[in-house]
Amino acid sequence: MSTPGTDIRMSPASAVGLVASREISTRLKAKAFRVSTAVILLLIVVGIVAIKLFTGGGGADSTVGYTAATAGFAAPLKAGAQAVGENIDTSQVADEAAGRAKLADGSIDALLTGDGKSVHVQVKKDLDGKLANVLQLLSRQVALDQQITAAGRNPAEFNAAVAAARFIEDPPLEQPYDYDGQQLVLGIAAGVLIYLSLMLNGQGVAQGVVEEKTSRVVELLLSTIKPWQLMAGKVLGIGVVGLVQMVVIGAGGIIAGLATNVLTISVSAAIGTVVWLIVWYLLGFFMYSIVFAALGALVSRQEDVAGATSPALMFVIAGYVVGISVLPSDPGNTFVEVLSVIPVFSPTLMPMRLAMGGVPVWEAVLSVGLVVLLIPGLIWFAARIYRNAVMRSGAKVKLRDALRAA
């Protein structure tokens, strides 16, 4: 005879924990997860190395050849180029004919010809605009030197005096924020990472919910745990997996950037970016994945997941697209500033702005606060839909029915 009583007490937390740990272990073991993480990490490292190769110190912007007659232009050309931020290499050629041969085979970009009294240049096809500017400066310098010599003065002394002149800036009326190129790149990278992560893991939640519906295992699960426990465990588990992925990718990217000197910002600024990235990933993930779980519960086939989650995905995409298209050219855009505080857009926009810098503290705090406030409401809403829809297989459950049904 069985003895009733001694009920199995399992706290809701341990039920949620069991579901979450199943999600974590099956997902971390899955080949797809490992491959996708490795591929994204590899792409980022390759991208950083590529930036290093194309722009980093090494290669000059252009190489200019000179003959014995024009050798006097070589030094002022380099100096002038440096003054405008161009990096020009010079190399001597035997004579103009040899120089033209080098022009033809592409080993030099321009050749200084003539007798050295005025600047003559020859190129293979088109004269590069920046090089043209530098040459224009050079020819002015040459003309000026000739005038100074004609006036009986020493051009070297004159130039030294001119070079020593500096302007003095009075304090600006408003404190401007300087968006430098690296922060811009970081901001864009942050935006792309958050976006990818919300797309992959958010969809992962919806697919996981549908997997349980399609395989019917949900009925067995719900005979022992409550719907909200199953939903919360799933969201939590996938969130942790996404976080691991995010940290691996984010840290890998920053380390690669610092190691190759592509990133020259301070380590603390880099860590700040990663921390903000993680905070916003978590906020964005929980906000969206709760909704994705509910929307996923409405359908019974994997093919229908994309359709069911698209209304929520549109906000993610909209935020990302606005951010990525407006912020690089106009980091202080007021429209983006306003959007980045509104909860549905903040997970994609705020981390980009934070990585670029110059976000007032109150905006950062307000945007986090609004999302935190919104999440309990979303949980209530999602749990209701999930509970009502998850046991109904077959045709798509209408959102209205799922909200109304007891």
Q: To the nearest whole angstrom, how small is the minimum distance from the Cβ of residue 22 to another protein?
A: 6
Residues 6+ apart with CB under 8 A from 325: none
| Residue in 1, 97, 150, 361 binding another protein, rule: CB under 8 A | 1
Cβ neighbours for 20, distance < 8 A, ≥ 6 positions apart: 233, 234, 236, 237, 240
Chain mean position to CA 379: 29
32 lies in the site for another protein, by CB under 8 A: no
Tell me the number of residues near another protein by CB under 8 A.
30
By CB under 8 A, residue 20 contacts another protein: no
Beta bridge mates, 64: 90, 110
d(CA 279, CA 274): 9
Q: Stretches 16-24, 72-80, 247-255, 345-353: which one binds another protein (CB under 8 A)?
A: 16-24
Whether 302 contacts 207, CB under 8 Å: yes
Query: Is residue 24 involved in binding another protein (CB under 8 A)?
Result: no
Q: How far apart are the first and last CA of the chain?
A: 38
Considering beta carbons, is residue 14 or 107 the nearer one to another protein?
A: 14
Q: What is the footprint of another protein within residues 363-402 (CB under 8 A)?
A: 391, 393
Q: Is 108 in the site for another protein (CB under 8 A)?
A: no
Q: Please report where in the chains the tokens 């906020």 appear, as a residue.
A: 283
**Residue 218 binding another protein, by CB under 8 A:** yes
Q: How far is the CB of 246 from another protein (least distance, A)?
A: 24
Query: Could you say which of 13, 16, 20, 22 contacts another protein (CB under 8 A)?
Result: 22
Sign of CA dihedral 34, 35, 37, 38: positive
Q: For residues 201 and 390, give the distance between their C-alpha atoms in angstroms, rounded to a whole number.
A: 20
Instruction: Candidates 51, 79, 192, 221: give the one binding another protein (CB under 8 A).
Output: 221
Return the amino acid letter for 59: G
The verdict on 31 binding another protein (CB under 8 A) reads no
Instruction: Please report whether residue 7 would count as binding another protein according to CB under 8 A.
Output: yes
Q: Are 273 and 254 in contact (CB under 8 A)?
A: yes
Positions in the binding site for another protein (CB under 8 A)? 1-2, 4-5, 7-10, 15, 18-19, 22, 26, 211-212, 215-226, 391, 393, 406
